[in-house]
Structure 1
């Protein structure tokens, strides 16, 4: 395994370092200390052509200025918190809101805006970047000082492992994710609608007002949300289902069934032959399809098209603290939060 690093700029006077892990099979992963963000994932196609298969900004300044969450570590809480408010142990907490009246992706100064410390660990079979940070008591309105480690590991088996560990000194909430967008064609000017998705999920969470969970968990069978037997993502843009119409595609949590030995999801693109199998110990995956075009910034020098990429955000169900039956995302002193998601990259002839 090969490891390299370079300083790519500064944020608030602090150097930002990008680390690149490369395996013998032509796959490389680059991640930077700003936001513990993955900025490049190079992968060959069936003809041996190597391209970046994730969405990435053109410069560090773009990440800071526009905050699109591309490839970033999201927290303390992924997704939206209704009214930015919750009660924990009979005490009410008001978070700092940053999307209308609600909090999104941890607030205005979430973990994706932090400059993380980093250490490299490498062997013949794998190499890892271990990112660490401490989120102070009261940051974005959350109680407790939170110590977080996020590790990215690239293996000779073409796996990208994302692991999380966290501890706290007060009861708090923690539900992180990585917000990587895949476009397996390697061309971000080519929409992902012809990508095939297979998803081991029979239930999805309905969206209500302001794209917040309504609290209802609905059967996927007979809807555009049923990918148990695979299907093209175009169905989300073409169907007249009220939930796909609401967001012009998908921005929905899917409950995962976790059948032993089976991937929780498989994303593939026929022309390139590339595929990614996803395995996770998390309850759900939020799937978002970059449902709108963006012209405020560029990728590879061009405005970002609608459906430029797809996220597979593994996490607990969003807004779980405010939704009955959505699970427990409380982290308490003496406990260790631990989670892992694995993306395995393959090429089919």
Structure 2
């Protein structure tokens, strides 16, 4: 296991974690952003399997949140407001009339304190951040830690921890766009995905949850058996069309333990397994991405990546029976998501 650190301008640091299997993960302390994950294909050829910018300066704008830690609340908050313990909190409207991914100065825009660590079996980076009450419209000051750990068994573990001095809303995630073809050779049309979920959250025309949880059975949202993402891209189902002919929906996991998601690309032989103690996730298939982003390998395009944003649901602030995102004062937020990378013959 190895860790290398490179100093960039603006107090940015780039950490490179690597193991003896040819796997490598690059992480910025700016936004806690994963800029590159290199994984071998079935023939042992190492290639990058996430979307990242060619120029680091582009992470300052980063309109599509490539690879970033998202907080305080991942996802959209309807009308950019919520009530908690009898008080109303008004947030920045940075997505039409709604609040998205913690606002324009969310965790994806922060310079985190960073500390690298390594042993014989793992290498990682611990990131920490303090947010004062009033800095972003949310109640309470927050002490946050996010730890990335790469193991010698090709597991990338993300541990999230946070403490607050006042009851607040919080759900954190990572916003990496995965493309298992390697070096963005193709779109994710032929990615075969399996999700442990029989219910997903209905969206309105503004991508805001309606409060209804729909049964996946008989729809292009039923991933309990593996299916190609392209089935949703080409579907006439209204929920696919609302999202720009794809997916931008919250899936509620059926089980608390075990594998929650698998994704694989048959041509390269790469397979990714996602385990998490989060209650659900947003799967986003880059439906609104255009050709304007200069990525490391080539220009961006629609369907070039797929995000698996494991998290609670912001819809719980407006609707009952959704996975909660309230962190009580004095409690500690602790969540974990693990991405394991394999190859198949």
Q: TM-score, with normalisation over the residues of structure 1?
A: 0.96
Which residue in the other structure is 2:255 paired with? 258
Q: How many aligned positions are there?
A: 344
Inter-partner Cα distance in structure 2 for 1:187 and 1:36: 22
Aligned residue in 1 for 2:272: 276
Consecutive unaligned residues in structure 1, runs of 5 or more: none
Q: Deviations over 1:45-83 (max 9, x none)?
A: 011111100000112211102332111000000000011
Give the drift of 1:259.
6.0
Which of 321, 326, 332 is equivalent to 1:336? 332
For 2:308 and 2:95, the matched residues in 1 are separated by: 21
Tell me, which stretches of 5 or more residues in structure 2 are unaligned? none
Taking structure 2 as the reference length, what is the TM-score of the superposition? 0.97
Pick from 210, 230, 247: which aligns with 1:214? 210
Are 2:163 and 1:167 aligned?
yes
| Whole-angstrom distance in 2 between the partners of 1:64 and 1:118 | 18
Select between 158-167 and 286-295 the one with higher mean Cα deviation: 286-295
Cα distance, 1:226 vs structure 2: 0.4
Deviation at residue 138 of structure 1 after TM alignment: 1.0
For 1:323 and 1:224, the matched residues in 2 are separated by 25
* Alpha-carbon shift at residue 322 of structure 1 (Å): 1.2
Q: Does 1:2 align with 2:2?
A: yes
Deviations 1:292-323 (A, max 9, x none): 34233211363211100000000012332112
Instruction: Give yes or no for contact 1:287–1:313 (8 Å, CA) kept in 2.
Output: yes
Contact 2:184-2:297 at 8 Å conserved across structures: no
Q: Judging changes above 3 Å, is the alpha-carbon distance between structure 1 residues 325 and 259 closer, same or farther for their aligned structure 2 residues?
A: closer
What is the CA–CA distance in structure 1 between the aligned matches of 2:16 and 2:297, rounded to whole Å?
23
C-alpha RMSD over aligned residues: 1.2
Partner in structure 2 of residue 193 of structure 1: 189
> Runs (4+) of structure 1 moved beyond 4 Å?
none
